[in-house]
């Protein structure tokens, strides 16, 4: 019986979509909790409902459908933003402790995943249980990325463009290591996946924060609409490629 893959292949388009989705998750999460003034607790509930609905659809479909898959990614980035902010601003744990808690959750998930399947390959995935590990790891990594991105700006005092540049350089280093060394490609994938989240988080902050704080002052709504439009365009491209 032929098995059919359920997740996106790792290409340049994948990484561009991932960065755009994480930027959207940052701005949309802030729009829900701050612009709409719903607070972080309500924000988590709203984004959790969206995540549950999207992941339920993803787990039921029999093959990779770009719009469904990327809706889940957006769900994890938006929920991840709310989780990180809840840990920092409601629980008062701070971004450093929040980052440590989230990286522990990510490593534990990857450890359990490896213990069951003896690998951490992210493509192709067609088995239900393995896909669940995949999405849990992605949720932790996106939450971690938000916390780490905010740690760079709030704790280390980096402006938003500098923070995005720092994480961008790390991503480029990972790319060079992938093509120029024999370092395990799965390890490099997860490093890049984690650091594309703080890149998106810091770039999202750059879009929405006031000019006096180093941002473009687009506001959470306009920044979200711009990111959504770019992501939708790339989803259409991905859908066309998946049909060829």
In a domain, residue 173? The reply is yes
Model pTM above 0.85: yes
Q: Which residue has the higher pLDDT, 8 or 204?
A: 8
In a domain, residue 141? The reply is yes
In a domain, residue 7? The reply is no
Which domain covers residue 207, as residue numbers? 12-239
pLDDT at 234: 95
pLDDT at 2: 53
pLDDT digits (tens, 9 = 90+) for 99-110: 889 889 999 999
In a domain, residue 214? The reply is yes
pLDDT at 125: 94
In a domain, residue 2? The reply is no
In a domain, residue 4? The reply is no
Tell me how many domains the chain contains: 1
DSSP state string for 207-236 = HHS-GGGTS---HHHHHHHHHHHHHHHHHH
pLDDT at 1: 45
Q: Helix 39-60 to helix 66-85 angle, to the nearest 10 degrees? A: 150
């Amino acid at each position: 019986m032929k098995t059919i893959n359920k997740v996106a292949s790792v290409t340049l388009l994948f990484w561009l979509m991932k960065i755009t989705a994480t930027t959207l998750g940052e701005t949309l999460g802030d729009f829900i909790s701050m612009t709409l003034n719903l607070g972080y607790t309500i924000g988590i509930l709203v984004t959790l409902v969206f995540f549950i609905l999207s992941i339920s659809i993803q787990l039921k479909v029999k093959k990779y459908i770009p719009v469904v898959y990327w809706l889940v990614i957006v769900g994890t980035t938006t929920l991840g933003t709310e989780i990180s902010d809840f840990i920092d601003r409601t629980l008062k744990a701070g971004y450093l402790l929040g980052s440590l808690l989230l990286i522990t959750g990510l490593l534990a998930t990857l450890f359990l995943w490896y213990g069951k399947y003896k690998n951490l390959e992210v493509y192709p995935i067609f088995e239900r249980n393995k896909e669940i590990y995949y999405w849990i790891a992605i949720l932790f990594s996106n939450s971690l990325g938000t916390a780490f991105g905010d740690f760079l700006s709030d704790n280390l005092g980096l402006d938003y463009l500098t923070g995005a540049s720092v994480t961008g350089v790390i991503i480029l280093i990972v790319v060079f290591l992938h093509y120029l060394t024999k370092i395990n490609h799965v390890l490099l994938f997860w490093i890049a996946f984690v650091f594309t989240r703080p890149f998106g988080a810091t770039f999202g902050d750059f879009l929405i924060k006031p000019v006096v704080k180093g941002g473009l002052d687009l506001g959470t709504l306009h920044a979200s609409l711009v990111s959504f439009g770019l992501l939708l365009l790339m989803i259409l491209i991905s859908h066309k490629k998946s049909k060829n």
